[in-house]
Chain A
Amino acid sequence: MSRCRILIVDDEAVALRVLRVGLERGGYQVDSAANGQQALAAILEAPPDALITDIEMPMMSGEELCARLQKEVPERQFPIFVATSLTGLEHRDWSRQISNLHFLEKPLSVRKLLAVLNEFFARGSRTDKSQSA
């Protein structure tokens, strides 16, 4: 089975680097983008297996990226994980419109993120197996 491809979007280059290294060590293939605009272009070109994005970013914020994806890639299957400084409650209004969206509260932990991703993909593969069976 090929490695799952994760797209990480963050304007903080240092954080991006640590996350990338951590996830790669966890067995994932990691692509990165510095803002929403870059991420959208990358997704339209090749959709990842999961998207992890910050919210406050220049050019295009995480919130706008999600809205654009919902509109431009309605058949999207991959999950979106949004890393936020606030709690999920503050984002309730806009996030209600977006499907398959999950919040990760900052500060992030590579260990926890790996656990979430592993859990998610394990569940996904079980579902696939049950569907194929």
Chain B
Amino acid sequence: MGRRTVRINFSNLWQKEGLGLTMIGASVIVIALTAYLLLSFQRTERVDQLRGQGASIARILADVPFADLRSRRQDHGPLRMLQLGQDATLFAYAMVVDQGGKVLNGVNSSGIDLDRIPVDSPLGSWSGERAFRLDTLNRDVMEFYAPVVDAEDLVGAVRIGYFVPALGFSAGQLPLIATMALIIFTLTPLFYFIVRRETRQIHVVNEEIASRINSGSFNACTVEATGDLRDFVQRFNRFSDLARSRIDQLSKVNSDLLASQKLLGYKKTRIESVLTAIPEALLILAEDGRVSFANERVRSLLDVEPADIINRVPSEWCRDEEALEFLRCFETASTSRYFADTVHLTKPSAEKKKLTIKAYPLFAPQDPDTIFGRLIVVRDVTKESLVDEGRKNFVAHVCHELKTPLNTLSLYAEALLGDQGSDDAFRTEAYNVINDEVERLASLIDNMLNISKIEMGNIKVEKQRVRLADLLRDAYTHATSSGEAKNLKLTLDVPAELSPVAVDKELLRIAINNLLTNAIKYTPAGGQICLAASETDVAIEIRVSDTGIGIGPEDKDRIFEKFYRATGAEVQKVRGHGLGLALVREIVELHHGQISVNSDHGKGSTFLISLWKDSALLKQAI
């Protein structure tokens, strides 16, 4: 069986029973103090008593005849009688000495050698009292002495010594002290229980308040109390109510503030993200022209770091001369333009960016006549100006392409109406030219309409699974007559079976026809043209190759552009409007296919259309 260890947690014990322990300690101290005082008082009483007794006895003995005093009778000499009548615990000695201090007779308690009692020399002629310490016994002694006169002569002195009573108690004093301790020990618990009863309510209230503090609760304290404590509890509850309502108010104010702060933060973030996200560079200039805000686009459009230009005027950071000339006028507060200003400029950098800078006055909300700054908006209009230029070029091209055949028609019509109309040969020539020009116009308009529809997204691609071999054979047949008319050899190299692909039959036919027409147009008589098709794992490839004039390297990248015609003299001899290949590319891209050209200038060209099979398209999508 294991030993049980009892551990006392003094800290807890003190916390719980501190008052009781204090009272026990205090009562022990009180008992000890009281006992000490009592014993001390008794000792003082005894010393006083001995002092009176000693002086009296010394004087009485001094009156005893000197001869009797000197007598050394053992049984009933006055000194012996005196010793017997004294308290043996306190009596030290009694002796008669001559004038020289020599002991003539004496009695003493055990352990005292009379001859070694110190003598004050000379002894006075008067009675008196003195105290000294007896080193041999280590005790204090009170001595009383009186002169002895015999026949009117001073012959010696009587000396009586008593031990000074020590502080301590004897067995006889025990009942008194025990009684006193009993009374005190009886009163202490009584007093303790009275105090405990009185403080229990305080303790309960204290516990209740502590539990509310710990739980953060403001509920009223429901402890039953009496007297002053009841008032305390009531006031505490009122104070608690006040604190709770005050905290509720503050919490509400705080949550309102928090909500406002979050809302403001959200709005600020939203505005900043809007300002950052918009494609224009934005600057806000204060009245003195210093930048108070700049968004990220400033970096790319004005070549400055947004953070670096804050609080600086344009003349300190703007590197572009034209822009600076425009912005500098806002550095002076006297500038009071109430309207928006705009400047167009081209950056001198390699990209030749075209920018517009607009300045809008910012009016004070309360006073629309006061301008407190300016909003500067910098836009990159490079693309717009390119589009604008492209549009102008397109209109010029269309006009030219339409008016050129019209011009020829008009000239021939005029000639036919005149004298030349009667010339048969001229008439035949005119009819042929008119026929060619009308075809050219029709083809131009068809191509333009088709391109326009595709670019505008107005054309609906109706894909269906078609037998590509049949489609190519039809296109070949269609082109044969024009080819043969020009003495060209056309061949078809298409396998009987090709995997079916989903294409818009009509659009693809236009693309193949355009390639074949081009091949016929740009291949001199006697040349060869081949329409071929083959199949790989991922695509069906359609090739239109010729032995024509070919395409120069400088034109190769541009021949698919609208209205672009190669610059070579051989090309220019042939009528064309530069839309055929552009349309082919649009159509192939509508089918997610690819077109490329391989050409040897002067020897011929091969156009390759790759149409991806469905499985390949699916893989690409994944």
Chain A interface (Cβ < 8 Å from any Cβ of B): 11-15, 18-19, 21-22, 25, 34-35, 55-59, 83, 85-86, 90, 106-111
Contacts and interface: CB of A to CB of B under 8 A. Distances in A.
B254 interface: no
Contact of B415 (A18, A35, A85): A18
Contacts of B418: 110-111
Nearest to B432: A14
Contacts of A106: 403-404, 406-407
A57 B404 CA distance: 11
Nearest to A90: B396
B424 interface: no
10 contacts: A22-B414, A35-B572, A56-B404, A58-B571, A58-B572, A59-B567, A59-B572, A83-B407, A106-B404, A110-B415
B569 A15 contact: no
Interface in B331-383: none
Given A14-B433, A35-B572, A109 B408 contact: no
A109 B572 contact: no
Contacts of B386: none
Contacts of A58: 565, 567-569, 571-572
A12 B404 contact: yes
A7 B409 CA distance: 22
A107 B433 CA distance: 15
A13 B404 CA distance: 11
A22 B417 CA distance: 12
A108 B410 contact: yes
B410 A21 contact: no
Interface string B393-430: 00010011011101111111011001110000000000
Contacts of B412: 14, 18
A108 B407 contact: yes
Nearest to B575: A12
A85 B400 contact: yes
Contacts, number: 75
A21 to B, nearest CB: 7
B573 interface: yes
A86 B396 contact: yes
Contact of B408 (A15, A35, A85): A15
Nearest to B398: A85
A13 B573 contact: yes
Contacts of A59: 567, 569, 572
A11 B576 CA distance: 11
Interface string B561-603: 0000101110111010000000000000000000000000000
Nearest to A105: B403
Interface in B234-265: none
B410 A85 contact: no
B396 A15 contact: no
Contacts of A35: 572
B403 A85 contact: yes
B396 A25 contact: no
A57 B407 CA distance: 15
A109 B403 CA distance: 13
B383 to A, nearest CB: 23
Nearest to A111: B414
Contact of B407 (A12, A13, A22, A25): A12
B427 to A, nearest CB: 13
A109 B419 CA distance: 15
Given A56-B400, A58-B565, A85-B396, A34 B572 contact: yes
Contacts of B573: 13
Contact of B411 (A11, A56, A110): A110
